[in-house]
Amino acid sequence: MIITIDGPAGSGKSTAARKLAARLGIAYLDTGAMYRAIALRALEHGVRLTDVEALVKTALEADIEVICGPTFTRVMLDGRDVTEAIRSMAVNAATSYVAREQRIRDLLVKRQREIGARLGSLVTEGRDQGSVVFPHADLKFFVDASIEKRAERRHQEMLADGENVTYDEILANLRERDGNDAHQWAPLLEPATAIHLDTTRLTIHEVVEKMLEVIQRQKSSAN
């Protein structure tokens, strides 16, 4: 069973996907982590983010391995664990440059489909999972929340990670990312068949419960 969860930055999709996968006992794939790993590699190799050819080269050379468990994704870049390193503000900002390059997207879409084919069942999360990567997914969710709420959640996460950053910086970063990510190469598309969940007033527990209800309903109507 392939379940896709798409939505804008800070919508709660990562936590929801991880918790849903854990409840279902299937793998969880964080596709943003793959874009982030390439951005980290570009930063570490001194690649200019506006130099598209160099960015594509660094993406093609990157040895990215995503280890998908039901409660975690660990990301290996060129043989080392970068799961934590890809969460910095610098990587946040650089990832938009990576995500807007179509050749890099094609490469990662192919890898994501390979992971899906290999695992058979997974909850996969990103911004194009239901629309582009797995158009025939069994179930598609689209999660959204107000930008203020998304900034608040991101801020809490970053503080918990020990990042020294203000709410206003996060809000500005999200506004910029919403803009960049809405770029024609990587539009955030809501599949017509997706179930839309506004998570502004929901706890993560409530989001996951709603998702489980939908899955249960779908199972009952299939029987």
Shortest-Cβ-distance residue relative to ligand DC: 32
The yes or no reply on residue 36 touching ligand DC (CB under 6 A) is yes
- Nearest-angstrom CA–CA distance, 124 and 48: 30
Sequence length of the chain is 223
Which of residues 29 and 211 has its CB atom nearest to ligand DC in the complex?
29
- Rule CB under 6 A: choose which of 4, 58, 96, 199 binds ligand DC: 96
- The least CB distance from residue 27 to ligand DC, in Å, is 16
The yes or no reply on residue 128 touching ligand DC (CB under 6 A) is yes
Output the six-digit token pair for 129: 């999972």
Span from 126-134, 155-163, 193-201, 209-217 in contact with ligand DC (CB under 6 A): 126-134
Answer for the pair 35, 86: CB distance below 8 angstroms, yes or no. Answer: no
DSSP type of residue 186 = S
- Rule CB under 6 A: choose which of 4, 28, 104, 126 binds ligand DC: 126
DSSP output for 117-152: HHHS-EEEEESSIIIII-TT-SEEEEEE--HHHHHH
Interface with ligand DC (CB under 6 A) = 9, 31-32, 35-36, 95-96, 99, 126-128, 177, 181, 186
